[in-house]
Amino acid sequence: MEFSQYHVDALLNITNRPSLVFTEGHGMWLTDHKGKRYLDYLQGWAVNCLGHSPQCIQDALTEQARKLINPSPAFYNEPSIALASSLVKHSCFDRVFFANSGAEANESAIKLARKWGKKHKNAAGADRYEIITFNHSFHGRTLATMSASGKAGWDTIFAPQVPGFPKAELNDLASVEKLITDKTIAVMLEPVQGESGVIPASREFMQALRALTKQHGLLLIVDEVQAGMGRTGELFAYQLSDVTPDIMTLGKGIGGGVPLAAMLCREEVAVFEAGDQGGTYNGNPLMTAVGGAVLDELLKPGFLQSVKDKGAYLGAELVKLSEKHGLEGDRGEGLLRALKLGKNIGAQIVETARDINPEGLLLNSPRPDLLRFMPALNVTTAEIDQMISMLSDVLKKLGH
């Protein structure tokens, strides 16, 4: 089918999309409407942690669809209990609330922290509600999560903002300390900033932040929507720095491609009362059955070690490529990595890589001078080699 035959204008224009319609995906590969194949290093933006349409997700969806799709969140269902139990068992948290997107999970974390701030008022007897977040952070696209985000320009697009999110600088403890007032209730951060270009919070910073928040009676909230679920080689990114947060949010990888997210908290922080939080689809058995199947795969012996190994391999190959083409090296954790280009050629590389024939390569450039790599966690070294060789050809073609 020709692209012009699709009535794409029926869709509201919310982003600039290339003239391609994807019709199939298997593992690391996508196929478009003309049958051209693409090696996919986006994977739905770090979502498809087991690649496109893995067998375990197909099985979980079909088996669960035959049994029960949606009894309503007003009743218990087996897959959500099983997934919550497994998440609790493998983390420092005690309770799980399921949601449908990362933004919604973060909304829940913000609401829970604010509720906690009503219970734990300041010395003057007033509610505490301010949550310190970070410049360049990304927490979602609802009004509150946009306000919590530190993306340039986001404070004005849909003004007025939701108040109560002062911004500090990542890896700068003094910048956090300066913002603490008698209204502060929490500090919220991505252990590895994803959208801003794969910037890890240092282990020292995370530990100092935990000590500082404890000292001031503040909650520590980690947004692991992108960095959690094995992406860094640890099941959860907070484990990289040996800290115990109070609240964590998950999204993206937890559903392996289907809409599923979660907020986890420790028992002391579980202050929601009946009616405070909910949602029609939250914790539905169809999606939580998929989440259970995905988590089982990540927990198989050797899986997380293989993410670490492949992350190290990808990092080393990016460094070699960087040396060959005069670029500025790699950074990241596990299989969330970035290649520093040192010049603003990101968009050009993304387009050229996509359009090469016979097979294209899908890459992401979150900043003009950076490429981000978010392969499936079960990517093979051969698929890494192939990407590096394709990218090298693209760089040569562009004269770099």
Residues that bind ligand PLP (CB under 6 A): 101-103, 106, 138-140, 190, 194-195, 223, 225-226, 251-252
The beta strand positions in 123-250, using DSSP E, are 130-134, 167-168, 184-189, 192-193, 199-200, 219-223, 247-250
10 known member of a binding site = no
Minimum distance, C-beta of residue 235 to ligand PLP, in the bound complex (Å)? 16
Minimum distance, C-beta of residue 170 to ligand PLP, in the bound complex (Å)? 13
47 known member of a binding site = no
381 known member of a binding site = no
Question: How many whole angstroms separate alpha carbon 348 and alpha carbon 335?
Answer: 23
| 342 vs 366 by CB, closer to ligand PLP | 366
Based on C-alpha coordinates, what's the Rg of the chain?
A: 21
In angstroms, what CA-CA distances link 37 with 194, 292, 354, 374?
Answer: 27, 30, 10, 18
Q: Is 15:339 a contact under the CB 8 Å cutoff?
A: no
CA dihedral over 78, 79, 84, 90, signed as positive or negative: positive
Tallying the residues shown for the chain, one arrives at 400
| 79 vs 194 by CB, closer to ligand PLP | 194
| 43 vs 352 by CB, closer to ligand PLP | 43
Question: How many whole angstroms separate alpha carbon 109 and alpha carbon 142?
Answer: 13
331 known member of a binding site = no
Minimum distance, C-beta of residue 131 to ligand PLP, in the bound complex (Å)? 14
| 277 vs 322 by CB, closer to ligand PLP | 277
Question: How many whole angstroms separate alpha carbon 131 and alpha carbon 149?
Answer: 11
Minimum distance, C-beta of residue 164 to ligand PLP, in the bound complex (Å)? 18
Minimum distance, C-beta of residue 296 to ligand PLP, in the bound complex (Å)? 22
Minimum distance, C-beta of residue 228 to ligand PLP, in the bound complex (Å)? 9
Buried/exposed 239-277: b ≥16 CB within 10 Å, e otherwise:
bbbebebbbbbbbbbbbbbbbbbbbbbbeebbbbeeeeb
64 known member of a binding site = no
224 known member of a binding site = yes
346 known member of a binding site = no
Q: Is 374:48 a contact under the CB 8 Å cutoff?
A: no
Question: How many whole angstroms separate alpha carbon 44 and alpha carbon 325?
Answer: 28
Q: In 3-state terms, what secondary structure has residue 113?
A: helix
| 57 vs 229 by CB, closer to ligand PLP | 229
| 291 vs 360 by CB, closer to ligand PLP | 291
Minimum distance, C-beta of residue 47 to ligand PLP, in the bound complex (Å)? 8
226 known member of a binding site = yes
Q: Which two tokens stand for residue 369?
A: 């001078």
Q: What is the DSSP letter of 52?
A: B
223 known member of a binding site = yes
For ligand PLP, which residue has the nearest CB? 102
| 116 vs 138 by CB, closer to ligand PLP | 138
Which residue type is seen at 264?
L
Please state the residue numbers annotated as binding site for N(2)-acetyl-L-ornithine.
Answer: 141
Please state the residue numbers annotated as binding site.
Answer: 102-103, 138, 141, 223-226, 280
